[in-house]
Amino acid sequence: MTQSEYVLRMADLRRACSVLLDETERRFGLEVDLSRVSTDYYWTLDLATAFDMSETPAAPLGCGQVSDDVAEITALVRRDPEDVIPLWHDLDHLAGVLRLLAHLDLPR
């Protein structure tokens, strides 16, 4: 890898999200009916532990909830634009929703 490949460009990330969300919409439609999803819960590992590769994780697995993730994303888009956005919190909920979409697309 070259040094420039170690840079995360927000424009590239935005474009990748757009491409992937467009394809998700094509496959699943404008809405995903969560009542038709077979599970609401999934395993998680807290962020600090997940990115600390110096030791084998001793922290137990956590549990995420799709319905909570969707509620948090819904609240995010309705927030006052002047509100402080806790990235660590909201991006984690967004990641949960994106992982659900990836899960729904797994080969069966």
Q: What is the DSSP-derived secondary structure letter of residue 80?
A: -
Give the angle 73-11-69 at the CA atoms, nearest 5°: 15
pLDDT confidence of residue 1: 61
pLDDT confidence of residue 10: 97
pLDDT confidence of residue 57: 84
pLDDT confidence of residue 18: 98
pLDDT confidence of residue 5: 77
Using DSSP's 3-state secondary structure scheme, residue 79 falls into coil
- pTM for this prediction: 0.88
Query: Mean pLDDT per segment of 10 residues, for the chain of length 108 residues?
Result: 81 98 97 92 92 86 96 96 94 97 94
